Amino acid sequence: MNEGLARRMSAAGQPAKGTPMLAFVLRRVMQSVVVLFVMSLVVFSMINLVGDPVDMLVNPESLPEEIDRVRRDFGLDQPVHVQYWKFLLGAISGDLGKSFIFGRPALALMAERFPATLELATSALVISVTVGLPLGVYAGLRPDGWGTRIIMGGSVLGISIPTFWLGLMMIIVFSVVLGWLPVSGRGETSRFLGIESSAFTLDGLRHLVLPATNLALFKIAMVIRLARAGTVEVMALDFIRFARAKGLAPRRIVLAHLMPNILIPIVTVLGIEFGTLIAFATVTESIFAWPGLGKLVIDAIVNLDRPIVVAYLLFVVTLFLVLNLVVDIIYALLDPRVRLQGDET
């Protein structure tokens, strides 16, 4: 049905039989910290093998003394393990180093860019549910219909189609040929209920539509498949037949009986997938010049801006570890079968 869910059900990381919840959570948190530490070590040591960032920092015609001074300023003259130690000490106190390019703390830069990415990912999530859910339920209710064939064909296409290319095609169609929407960038933002977002202004929305749709595309296909599978499964159950025997209208059966039952797994999967949206935003942001985290890190990779790359990585790793942990805990709480099921080995 869906790999994320199946993966989760079979994952060896489920709490084993009889393990108290608190112990499970503590063990997982410890594991996460170890993973984070190992990641930082690997990333830090490997990144020092690629290129010399000083080349990017100074004018090629600079004097050797000038180059040495820059090297010292950024602490790049010291051995790698000393650099790592300093980084680690800094990281614990919330300092992930300064960007070579911007000369500002990496964390501050990321904090600046994060809202834009969050806005993009959230909009994509909303789009994927509002579009994917009805289509998937429809396909599940009418398994042999023409509409279903088109929807399912479309979802195969949606999974196959390279997102970034589709983004370009969207720009060509909607911005270049039709001229309806702006090509790139983030529009005007405004504050509403304490949230600063571009979704509250017309200009902002016009800028948001294409990238959010582009990012949502893959997830729409996923939601369609999940919703369809869930619908087929639930509609065959006795309580749906009993609801029909009560003489309820199909609308009521779908909204009150089908929906709540298929939403639980879909919401869970989407929760896990939110991390993937943030990750995939790197691609979408590059296409649409969306000033978010993803664009920041791609530029940093190209420009060998190590602190940004490392900080982004640690951020994403943390995000994923937290998301996974939360989902595992929720799962263990919701489903007694998962709680009782130890690792099969």
Nearest approach in angstroms of CB 141 to other proteins is: 11
Nearest approach in angstroms of CB 244 to other proteins is: 6
Cα–Cα distance, 286 to 164 (Å, whole number): 9
DSSP state string for 90-126: HHHTT---B-TTT-SBHHHHHHHHHHHHHHHHHHHHH
Nearest approach in angstroms of CB 159 to other proteins is: 7
Nearest approach in angstroms of CB 126 to other proteins is: 20
What's the burial of 286, exposed, middle or buried (CB within 10 Å: 0-12/13-18/19+)?
Answer: middle
Nearest approach in angstroms of CB 147 to other proteins is: 16
Residue 186 or 225: which CB sits closer to other proteins?
225
Residue 74 or 288: which CB sits closer to other proteins?
288
Nearest approach in angstroms of CB 164 to other proteins is: 5
What letter represents residue 19's amino acid?
T
Residue 58 or 166: which CB sits closer to other proteins?
166
> In the structure encoding, which two tokens stand for residue 140, read together?
């599940």
Nearest approach in angstroms of CB 21 to other proteins is: 19
Residue 195 or 322: which CB sits closer to other proteins?
322
User: How many residues are listed for the chain in this entry?
Assistant: 345
Q: Report helix, strand or coil for 76.
A: coil
Q: Are strands 190-192 and 195-197 parallel, antiparallel or unpaired?
A: antiparallel
CB count in 10 Å sphere of residue 335? 14
All residues at 6 or more sequence positions from 254 whose CB lies less than 8 Å from its CB, including other chains: 137, 141
Nearest approach in angstroms of CB 172 to other proteins is: 5
Residue 193 or 302: which CB sits closer to other proteins?
302
What's the burial of 154, exposed, middle or buried (CB within 10 Å: 0-12/13-18/19+)?
Answer: middle
Q: Are 109 and 99 in contact (CB under 8 A)?
A: yes
The phi and psi torsions of 197 (rounded to 5 degrees) equal: -150, 155
Residue 35 or 62: which CB sits closer to other proteins?
35
What does the DSSP 8-state code read for residue 198?
A: G
Q: Are 124 and 215 in contact (CB under 8 A)?
A: yes
Tokens 């199909």, residue located:
250
Residue 152 or 199: which CB sits closer to other proteins?
152
Residue 92 or 236: which CB sits closer to other proteins?
236
Cα–Cα distance, 56 to 62 (Å, whole number): 12
Cα–Cα distance, 12 to 6 (Å, whole number): 12
For residue 221, the Cα-to-chain-centroid distance in whole angstroms is: 16
